[in-house]
Amino acid sequence: MLLLVACPAVSAAAEVVRAELGEDTAWTGEAVPLLVTLYSPGPFSGTPAFDLPELPLTVFVKSGNPLVGTEQVDGESYFTQRHEFALYTQCVGEIVVPAFRVRFAGKKTFTSAPEPVRGLTAELRFRSKRPPGTDNLGVVVAVQDMEATQSWKPQSLDAVSAGDVIERTISRRATATTAMMLPPVSTDAPEGVRVYPANAIVQDHTERGASRAERIETIKYQFERPGTFELPDMSLVWWDPQASTLQRKTLPGETINVVETVAAAVAPAQPASRHAPAIVLLMFLAIGLAAWLGRKPVSRFMTAWQAQRNNAEALAARRLLVACRAGDASAAYAALIDWKRAVSAPDGGANLDRLLQSALGDDLQREWAVLSRRVFGIQASEPPWSGRPLAEAFARVRHGLDPTARTRRAVSALPALNPTASATRKVKSHESG
């Protein structure tokens, strides 16, 4: 003690790191500045490391670049580095930031070699208060101002057919916060609508000491049956600490009228080859001979063969297998939708539902989910899609169908789209695998 009283400069020089909070009291979710100052007799070297503590429902975010300067401590000059962090917490009551270590390198003189330095901050405390009226909110966003906008794609939603997809993009920009503190928007949708949320784009910008956060989220809605669907409003709530008021903004939803899918256009006829007349002549001769030998049996056989080959179920099945061999995910998805519609005609849908709920249909359900994510999700880095697993699973399910169900034409609407709880678990299990 006598030594420290007699030599205060030695005591000051031993304090190589100092931490302090910018606020004693803050709202839940509000940024609390944490300033950490480093001291070195000579210039700093390298980048310091901060062993920040882990606190429940609390994050530390580094803000900007360090501020370099000098400071006189008991007549001695020291180089300083001031690092600023922002502390965000969703806890209520007294928040204790325990002491944490800081490691950096500094020189004793201008010409000496850098030496490692370790310092320990003091314990810090502040009080967090939950804003009134936010008890029913999960995460409290405390910002002075927020700008929220939305856009739809396509811009005109008047012509929407079953199977179409529309996009809803919601952008939020706020100051004095970080993008990670802006919670995800709701992805609720009515029954009969599949939802495909894309990965959110989160960005933090700092300009002249002012921070700005931006979060952009895109939600894709797919309609697989006709009808009228009410896409819900999007309500955004935040606390304004400057005005001490709860702010709210509602982004309106849309009423979507979905019509029946337009039948695929018939492929244009191929130009006739040079041998077409001879082929046609031989065909007529063969048909005439067959008709002369057995007019009625041939007629019955041709009628049954044409009906089986050209019915909606068979056409959709052939288009699906062709798309699988070509690796065309979009064409395979459209063909699979048409095939399911064809099979779901009266008395055929029950047979298909029993197959899909059995072990035989598990593979097809799983591959359909993979195909949906490939068509409507974001997989820029994924390898090309292989349709072989889908084709094999489809062939097994089709073989198990009642043969009479494959000769009917589709007259009913698409089946329900929103996955059941069991189906959702199967898709998640496939993704984790």
Q: What is the 3-state secondary structure (H, E, C) of 175-226?
A: ECCCHHHCCCCCCCCCCCEEEEECCCEEEEEEECCEEEEEEEEEEEEEECCC
- Name the token pair of 293: 């030998």
3-class SS of residue 64: strand
Single-letter amino acid code for the residue at 171: S
Over the chain, what is the mean pLDDT?
Answer: 80
% of the chain beyond a pLDDT of 90: 45
Checking if the pLDDT of 300 tops 50, the result is: yes
Alpha-carbon distance of 319 to 215, in angstroms, equals 41
- Name the token pair of 64: 């900007």
Give whole-number Cα distances, 37 to 78, 107, 304, in Å. 11, 16, 88
Cβ count near 351 (within 10 Å): 17
Contact partners, residue 307, CB within 8 Å, separation at least 6: 407
Checking if the pLDDT of 26 tops 70, the result is: yes
Nearest residue to 316 via CA among 245, 401, 384, 383 = 401
Phi, psi of 72 (to 5 degrees): -90, 125
Between helix 362-376 and helix 388-400 the angle, nearest 10°, is 140
Give whole-number Cα distances, 428 to 92, 185, 310, 415, in Å. 35, 21, 38, 21
Do 213 and 181 form a contact (C-beta atoms < 8 A)? yes
Q: Which range is least confidently modeled, 83-97, 106-120, 294-308?
A: 294-308
Phi, psi of 384 (to 5 degrees): -55, 145
Do 129 and 140 form a contact (C-beta atoms < 8 A)? no
Confidence class for position 265, pLDDT limits 50, 70, 90: very low
Checking if the pLDDT of 429 tops 50, the result is: no
- Name the token pair of 308: 């089986």
Between these two residues, 320 and 361, which has the higher pLDDT value?
A: 320
pLDDT score for 346: 55
Checking if the pLDDT of 3 tops 50, the result is: no
Fill in the DSSP letter of residue 155.
S
Phi, psi of 102 (to 5 degrees): -130, 130
For the chain, give the number of residues. Answer: 433
Between these two residues, 155 and 81, which has the higher pLDDT value?
A: 81
Alpha-carbon distance of 308 to 407, in angstroms, equals 6
3-class SS of residue 149: strand
Alpha-carbon distance of 311 to 131, in angstroms, equals 64
Find the mean pLDDT for residues 35-47.
Answer: 95
Q: Alpha carbon 156 to chain centroid distance?
A: 24
pLDDT score for 331: 86
pLDDT score for 351: 63
Checking if the pLDDT of 382 tops 60, the result is: yes
Domains defined along the chain, listed by start: 2-129 (2.60.40), 146-259 (2.60.40), 284-432 (no CATH)
Do 96 and 121 form a contact (C-beta atoms < 8 A)? no
Find the mean pLDDT for residues 194-215.
Answer: 85
Between these two residues, 137 and 50, which has the higher pLDDT value?
A: 50
Checking if the pLDDT of 23 tops 60, the result is: yes
Bond into 154 cis (ω within 30): yes
Find the mean pLDDT for residues 316-331.
Answer: 88
Q: Which range is least confidently modeled, 13-27, 187-201, 216-230, 305-319?
A: 305-319
pLDDT score for 216: 96
Bridge partner residues of 204 (DSSP) = 213
Cβ count near 134 (within 10 Å): 19
Find the mean pLDDT for residues 423-432.
Answer: 44
Alpha-carbon distance of 275 to 285, in angstroms, equals 16
Checking if the pLDDT of 239 tops 70, the result is: yes
Beta strands in 283-330 (DSSP E): none
Checking if the pLDDT of 424 tops 60, the result is: no
Give whole-number Cα distances, 56 to 91, 95, 200, 235, 404, in Å. 8, 10, 24, 27, 62
Nearest residue to 161 via CA among 245, 254, 225 = 225
pLDDT score for 433: 44
Give whole-number Cα distances, 109 to 38, 77, 106, 115, in Å. 16, 11, 9, 11
* pLDDT tens digits for range 73-105: 888 899 999 999 999 999 999 999 999 999 999
What is the C-alpha end-to-end distance of the chain, expressed in Å?
Answer: 64
- Name the token pair of 13: 């020089």
- Name the token pair of 355: 């197959």
Confidence class for position 417, pLDDT limits 50, 70, 90: very low
